[in-house]
Structure 1
Amino acid sequence: MPYYLKMKKLTKLCNYRRKIRENIRNLRKSLTVLDQRIASMKVSKIAFNFNFFCNSKNIALFIPFDGELDTYPLILRLWLNNYKTFVPVIKSRRNKKMIFVRFSCNSILYRNKYNILEPFYESKDIISDLYLDIIIVPLVAFDQKGSRLGMGGGFYDFFLMNWCKKKFFIMGLAYDFQYIRNIPTKSWDVPLPIVLTPNNIWIFKNM
């Protein structure tokens, strides 16, 4: 394929992905506080009713940002059931480096330069991915194959590269309306094996 056609195709792909992000982010932000609360409680209940955390100890998940599904009801349940929770901290945007640090009821949060909440931490709070059992990831959209569209930073795609060869398991968390039939993917996109929504458990063949 000639170079100019490749660039035209790539531009079209990027524009389509950008449009998906814009539309779904607007939908998320349009939800009322009550809608958000009901959805987050449903997902928390589903996660525990189906024993997704059995035989696990260290659970990594995210602090909600930009209208993402609220993880706090799930985090509270995890704490009440003696699980240890960890959340991401961005170390380098240029190198797409992200680490996970301990998050507890005593953690003090601040907003980083991207306006994302992160906990203050010490070196002892950092956990290696060798000791994580489950990583629950945020997303903007997912499709019928489990393809995940994130915010565009690439942090999770970089961190989760070759995840199936590691110890931990991954799953996505989203609203039902974040499902679309087909997401145009790029080579570095990491598909998900499971996505939990308030009304569904989506299981894909990405194990």
Structure 2
Amino acid sequence: MLSKILKHRKNIRQYMRYMRQSLTVKQQYNASIQISHLACNYTLIRKAKNIAVFLPFDGEINTYPFILKLWLNNQKVFLPIINSVHNKTLLFAHFTSKSILYCNQYKIFEPYFHTQDIISTSDLDVIIVPLVAFDKTGARLGMGGGFYDICLKDWRKKNILPVGFAYNFQLVHNIPKQYWDISLPVILTPDQISFFGS
């Protein structure tokens, strides 16, 4: 049974990654502008002071237009960094227009940072979460590393709002969940904001 679930999850990942990577530059750009507009008009994001945002990788939604809007609104942006000391955990570093980026071991951009640039996860108001697929219950399928599942384990206690960013086609009928999977209360696509009972 477990092997069937894992195989199904793997198949979803492969198909959705193929779909993302097949998008034209224009399609990616249009989606990023639409989702940025929706996000910045969503009250809980608009009123947030500290927002963690991923940088696009592997055909993910381009978050740069959204980040620019946050800066213009004088909101602080933080980028995820894979913690080299505690495996599978994320740190979040302040990101500005002057930040210098480098490619980590997964080919994802991270900022060079000093200790004072790191914010406690509990001090974040919103975490924008990447995903490979999601379903009508808010269940999220990521790339398989488990970083965000660990990071978001206590999001209710910490009073953080996790918000998924996805393309419309990333919605699937059902994601076979594992016990460690964290569902999302809110997911934005270029067309709409979806709320779930997580």
Work out whether the TM-score is over 0.5.
Answer: yes
SS at match of 1:164: coil
Check conservation: 1:103, 1:119, Cα contact below 8 A. Answer: yes
Superposition pairs of residues 1-207 of structure 1, within 5 angstroms: 9-92=1-84, 95-206=87-198
**What are structure 2's unaligned runs of at least 5 residues?**
none
4+ runs of 1 displaced by more than 6 Å?
A: none
How far apart are residue 71 of structure 1 and its match? 0.3
Structure having the higher Rg: 1
Check conservation: 1:101, 1:125, Cα contact below 8 A. Answer: yes
SS at match of 2:156: helix
Q: Partner amino acid for 1:115?
A: K
Q: Partner amino acid for 1:95?
A: N
Check conservation: 1:59, 1:132, Cα contact below 8 A. Answer: yes
SS at match of 1:153: coil
Aligned alpha-carbon RMSD (Å): 1.2
Please give the alpha-carbon distance, in whole angstroms, between the structure 1 residues aligned to 2:166 and 2:9: 17
Check conservation: 1:92, 1:98, Cα contact below 8 A. Answer: no
How far apart are residue 129 of structure 1 and its match? 1.1
How far apart are residue 33 of structure 1 and its match? 0.5
Please give the alpha-carbon distance, in whole angstroms, between the structure 1 residues aligned to 2:161 and 2:2: 31
SS at match of 2:102: strand
Q: How many residues align?
A: 198
Please give the alpha-carbon distance, in whole angstroms, between the structure 2 residues aligned to 1:159 and 1:53: 19
Q: Deviations over 1:91-148 (max 9, x none)?
A: 1497312100011100111101111110100001000012111001000000010000
The percent of aligned pairs where both chains have the same amino acid is: 52
Please give the alpha-carbon distance, in whole angstroms, between the structure 1 residues aligned to 2:99 and 2:77: 11
Please give the alpha-carbon distance, in whole angstroms, between the structure 2 residues aligned to 1:94 and 1:166: 20
Please give the alpha-carbon distance, in whole angstroms, between the structure 1 residues aligned to 2:142 and 2:119: 23
Q: Partner amino acid for 1:55?
A: K
Greater shift in the superposed pair: 84-93 or 192-201:
84-93
Q: Deviations over 1:128-169 (max 9, x none)?
A: 012111001000000010000000000000011021111211
